[in-house]
A and B are shown apart, each in its own frame.
Chain A
Amino acid sequence: MKAAVLVTALALALAGCGSGLAVPRDSSPSAAMPQPPGVAGSPAPTTSSAPDTSCDATASLRPSGPLPPPGQMPTNSTMDRIVQRGRLIAGVDQNTYPMGFRDPVSGQVEGFDIDMLHAVSEALFGDPNRIQFKAITSADRIPALQQGQVDIVARTFTIDCARAQQVAFSTVYFSAGQRVLVDSNSTVADIGGLAGKKVCATKGSTSLEALAEVSSHPQLVSVDNWTDCLVLMQQGQVDATSTDDTILAGLAAQDPYTKVVGPTFAAEPYGLAVPRTDTDFVRFINAVLEKIRADGTWTADYKHWLGDRLGPVPQPPTARYQD
C-alpha cells in the first residue's frame, strides 16, 4: 500500500517534470518609431559661449566696376575658369521649401536661393540655366567649398565671423531671423517656453548653435535636413523646430497644423559663399546682387517665393562693404 502510494507519487512527479507544452504566445513587441537617417543629439559644446562678434562679418568686398559682358570674363579670373568649363557648380539644398528645394512634381531644384544662382549664371553665361546643382547638407557647406567640389554655395548660409574665416561671403542677400515652429495646438509662445522640450535643428547650422545658448535649455535633436525636422514633429518625436523664419514659413506651408511663434531671437543674414581665395568672384557676385536689387529682380523673386508669409514685402538688404 505504502509502495503503491510512493510509486504513484513518483509517477506524478515525473509527469510534472515533463509537462509544459510550448504554447504559442503573443510577445507583442513595442512599436519602435523609426527615425530619419543621421539623427543625433546636441552638438559638441563650443568654446565660445557668445556669438562671435569679433569682426564685421557682413561687410563684403566692393565690386570692381560694372559687370563684364556675359561670356567675356577677365583672363585667368575665377569667372573665366567657370565660363571655360561651361557651367557653374553650385552647392544647394533640395529640401528647404521655399529657399532651395526639389519640386516633387517637376523634379527641378527651385527656390529663392536658386534664383540668386540663376542671376549669377545669367551674368556669367548670358543663360540663367548653366548650373550644375549638387545637393549638400548644412554641415557639408564649408568642406564642399574648401575641397573645391563646388564654385558657390547658395543654401540659407548665415554669415558669421567663424565661417568668414573659412570661406568668403557676398553681401547679405536676405535677412532672416530665428524663430520657433510648434504644433498649432501647442501652448508654447516663444523660445522661452521650450524648457525641457525636444527641439529640432540641422547639424552645422547657426540655429543649432543659437539653441545651445538659449536660457530655457531645450533638449536638442539634430538632423541632416530641415524637412527631417517636420517629419519628427509630425511623428511626435520632437515638440518644436527652431530656425530661420524663412525656413519655418516653408515648413508651415507644408503642414497647416503648425504655426510659427515668438519674436526673432537671433539675426540670420544670408550670403552666397565661395572659396576664400576667390575674391574676384566675390566682387563679381556683389555686382550681380547690386544689379538685381536695383532692377526689381530681387523684389519679384521675394514676392514669388515668400509673398506675405513673413509680413509685408521688405526692401532688399542694403549692401555693406569693408571699405
Chain B
Amino acid sequence: MAGVITRAAAVPRAPVRLWRFARKFGRSTPGRLTGIAAGLVLLSIVVGLVTSTGVQGKSDEVRDLATSAEPLSVAAQDIYRALQDADATASSAFLAGGIEPAATRQQYLADIAQATSALTLEAGTQTAGNPLETLSSQLPIYTGLVETARANNRQGFPVGAAYLREASGLMRSTLLPAAEQLYKAENARLTAEQDTATTFPIGEVVLLLITFGLLFAVQWHLLRTTNRLINTGLLVASVAAAVALLWTSAAMTAVTLHLDSAERDGSDQVAVLVQARFAAVQARADETLTLVVRGNGQSYQTDYLTAANRLGGRDGNEGLLGQARAMTKDPAVRSMLDNAIQAQQAWLTVHRRIRDADNAGQYGQAVQDSIGTSASSSGTLFADLDKNLVSALDSARAAFNQEASAADASLTLLRPGLIVLAVVIGVASGLGIWERLREYW
C-alpha cells in the first residue's frame, strides 16, 4: 500500500514539465497557430478517411444489389417456378398416357435442371438456411419418385400413378412451401438492400459542411488577429472542401435517382411479373389435375378459377397482368404484355370448353384440348403466355441492371477524387498557416 503511494508521488517529473510548457505555448499566438494547423491537417485526414470509406461502402451496396441481391432473388423465384412447372408437367405426362411425349419429358428435365442450378446459386446465401436444406435434401427424393412412377408406367402398372401422386404430394406439402419461404426471404433482402442503398449519406455531407465552416472560421480568425485579408492556402483548402461537398451531394443524389428508377422500372415490375408467372403455372397445374383425378376435381377447378382471376381478373385488364401492363412505360414490354393478356383470354375460353367436354362425358376430347399440340390447346396457350411473360421479365431485369450500373458509374471517380481533395485541404491549410507562423521566427 505504502509502496504504491510512494511510486505515484515519484512519477517522473518530465511529463509534468512538458505539460506546463505546452499550456504556456498554447496561450501564445504561434502556439495557437500551430494548434490550428495541426487541427486542420487532422480534420483533412478524417475527412479523407470517412468520406472515401463511405463512398466505397455505398458503391459496395450498389454493386451488391446488382450482382448479388437481385440475381439471388431471381434465382429463388426461378426455383419456385421451375418446381411448380415440373409438378404440372409430370401430371400432364400422366394424362398423355403411354410413353410421355418427348417434349413433355424434355420440359420436366429442363425444370429440374433449372431448379438445381438456381439452387447452387443460392448455396452460399445466409438468407435462409432451413428452406435451402429442405430443398436440397428433398428434391432428389422427388425426382426419384417421379422416375419410379415412370418405370412403373412403362410396364403398364397402375402403381405408377400412385408414385406420381406421392411425388406431387411431396412437392406441394414440402418443396413448394420451402421454395416460397426462400424467395420471400430473398425478396425481403432485396428490398432491404434497396432501401439502404438509396439512403442519402447525410453524415458524410455534414462532415464536409463542418470542414468548410471551420476553414471559414479560421480565415475569419486570421483576418481579425493578423489583419491580412487573403490567405492563399486556406482559400484553396476552402475551394477544395466546397468541391468535395458539391460533388458528393450530386453523386449521391444521382445514385438515389438511378436506384429509384431501377426499383420503379425494374424490380417492382419483376415482382409483379414473377407473381403472374406463378399464378399462370398454378392455374395450368390445377387444370391438368382436374383431368387427372377424373371427375373428382372440384377443388382443383376452384383453385384454377382463383389463380386465373389473380392472373387476369375478369377481362385480362385486371389482376397481375393488368397491373404489370399499367406499370410499364416501355412500348415493347407493353406489346409483350398485350400478347400475354390475349393468350390468357384465349386460354380461359379453351378452359371452359375443356370443362364442358369433361362434364359432358367427353373425357378424351377434354384431354386433347388440354395437352394436345394444336395452336388452340390450353397447353400451347399457356406456353405462349409464359413466353411473353418471360420476355417482359427479361426487359424489366435489363432496366434494373442498366439503372444500377449507372448508379455505380456515378460513384466511380468520387472515391479517388475525395482522397485527392482531402490531401489538398490538409496540405493547403497547413501551408496557409505556415505562412503566418513564419512571421514569428
Could you tell me if A95 and B169 are in contact, using CB atoms closer than 8 angstroms? no
From B137, B165, B367, contact of A107 by CB (8 A): B367
Whether the pair B295, A102 counts as a contact (CB closer than 8 A) is: no
Q: Does A134 contact B (CB under 8 A)?
A: yes
Q: CB-CB < 8 A to B203: which residues of A? A: none
B400: chain A residues at CB < 8 Å are: none
Shortest A189–chain B CB gap in Å is 25
In residues 48-102 of chain B, which contact A (Cβ within 8 Å)?
A: 94-98
- Among A234-287, those with CB < 8 Å from B are 234, 251, 254-255
A131 to B142, CA, bound (A): 35
Query: Is A72 interfacial (CB 8 A cutoff)?
Result: no
A107 CA / B360 CA spacing, docked (Å): 18
Q: Which of B157, B166, B174, B294 contacts A36 (CB 8 A)?
A: B166
A257 CB, nearest partner CB in chain B, Å: 13
Q: Which residue of A lies closest to B175 (CB)?
A: A34
Q: Is the CB of A133 within 8 A of B98?
A: no
Q: Is there an interface contact between A104 and B153, defined as CB atoms closer than 8 Å?
A: yes
Contact present for A107 and B158 (CB under 8 Å): no
Which residues of B sit under 8 angstroms from A96, Cβ to Cβ? 158
Complex: how many Å from CA A216 to CA B145? 33
Contact A105 B296 (CB under 8 A): no
Q: State A35–B166 Cα separation when bound (angstroms).
A: 6
Residue B159 at the chain A interface, CB threshold 8 Å? yes
Chain A hits for B133, CB < 8 A: 27, 29
State whether the Cβ of A208 lies closer than 8 Å to any Cβ in chain B. Answer: no
> Given A101-B158, A102-B158, A107 and B296 touching (CB < 8 A)?
no
Roughly how many angstroms separate A217 CA and B373 CA in the complex, as a whole number? 53
Q: Mark B165-196, 1 if CB is under 8 A from A, else 0.
A: 11111100110000000000000000000000
Would A97 and B95 be within 8 Å (CB), given that A107-B367, A132-B361, A135-B295 are in contact? no
| A89 close to chain B: CB less than 8 A | yes
A87 within 8 A of B: yes
Contact A132 B363 (CB under 8 A): yes
Q: Taking A95-B161, A231-B162 as contacts, is the C-beta distance between A34 and B145 under 8 angstroms? A: yes
In the complex, A230→B138 CA distance in Å?
22
Contact with B along A15-45 (1 / 0, CB 8 A): 0000000000001010100111100000000
Q: How many positions in chain A have a CB within 8 Å of any CB in the partner chain?
A: 39
Q: Are A36 and B158 in contact (CB under 8 A)?
A: no
Q: Give the CA-CA distance A226 to B51 in the complex, in Å.
A: 72
Please determine whether A254 and B152 come into contact, CB atoms closer than 8 angstroms.
yes
The residues of A that contact B155 with a CB separation of less than 8 Å are 254
Beta-carbon nearest neighbor of A100 in chain B: B158
Decide yes or no: A254 and B141 within 8 Å by CB, A34-B170, A135-B296, A140-B296 being known contacts.
Answer: no
A83-104 CB contact bits vs B (8 Å, 1 = yes)?
0001101000011110001111
Determine which of A37, A95, A103, A134 lies in contact with B166 in the assembled complex, contact meaning CB atoms within 8 Å: A37
Question: Closest chain A residue to B97 by CB distance?
Answer: A107
List chain A residues, Cβ under 8 A from B360: 87, 132
* Interface contact B96-A107, CB-CB below 8 Å: yes
Contact with A along B288-300 (1 / 0, CB 8 A): 0000011110000
Task: List residues of chain A with CB within 8 A of the CB of B296.
Answer: 134-137, 140
The answer on a CB contact under 8 Å between A231 and B97 is no
Convert B275-315 into 0s and 1s, putting 1 for each residue whose CB lies closer than 8 angstroms to a CB of A: 00000000000000000011110000000000000000000
Whether A178 sits at the interface, judged by CB under 8 Å, is: no
Which chain B positions have C-beta within 8 A of A95? 158, 161-162
Contact: A34 with B367, CB < 8 Å? no
Q: Which of A29, A34, A86, A102 has the most CB of B within 10 A?
A: A34
Q: Known: A94-B294, A133-B294, A133-B363. Contact between A104 and B160, CB under 8 A?
A: yes
Does B382 sit within 8 A of A, measured CB to CB?
no
Determine whether the beta carbon of B165 is less than 8 Å from that of A36: yes
Q: Is B156 an interface residue when CB atoms closer than 8 A count as contact?
A: yes
Distance in angstroms between the alpha carbons of A164 and B295 in the assembled complex = 25
Whether A230 pairs with B159 at a CB distance below 8 angstroms is yes
- The CA of A148 and the CA of B98, in the complex, are separated in Å by 33
Partner of B159, one of A37, A94, A109, A227: A227
Distance in angstroms from A260 CB to nearest chain B CB is: 16
- The listed residue with most A CB atoms (<10 A of its CB), out of B97, B141, B153, B173, is B97
Nearest Cβ in chain B — how far from A259, in angstroms? 16
Is A106 an interface residue when CB atoms closer than 8 A count as contact?
yes
Nearest to B145 among chain A residues (CB) is: A34
A183 within 8 A of B: no
**Contact status of A228 and B169, CB under 8 A, knowing A133-B363, A254-B152:** no
Residues on B with C-beta less than 8 A from A137 are: 296
Given A94-B161, A134-B295, check contact A231 B361 (CB 8 Å).
no
Residues of chain B within 8 A of A37, CB atoms compared: 165-166, 168-169, 173
The CA of A225 and the CA of B168, in the complex, are separated in Å by 15
Please indicate the chain B residues that have their CB under 8 angstroms from the CB of A225 in the complex: 162, 165
Whether A255 pairs with B159 at a CB distance below 8 angstroms is yes
Of listed A104, A136, A251, residue having the most chain B CB within 10 A = A104
CA of A184 to CA of B98, assembled, Å: 29
Report 18 cross-chain contacts, Cβ distance below 8 Å, ordered by A residue. A34-B166, A34-B167, A36-B165, A87-B360, A102-B158, A103-B156, A104-B98, A104-B152, A105-B98, A105-B156, A107-B367, A134-B295, A135-B296, A227-B158, A228-B162, A228-B165, A231-B162, A254-B152
- B contacts, CB < 8 Å to A: 94-98, 133, 137-138, 141-142, 145, 152-153, 155-163, 165-170, 173-174, 293-296, 360-361, 363, 367
Q: Could you list which residues of chain A lie within 8 angstroms of chain B, going by C-beta atoms?
A: 27, 29, 31, 34-37, 86-87, 89, 94-97, 101-107, 109, 131-137, 140, 225, 227-228, 230-231, 234, 251, 254-255
Q: What 4 pairs between A and B have smallest CB-CB spacing?
A: A107-B97, A134-B295, A132-B361, A227-B162
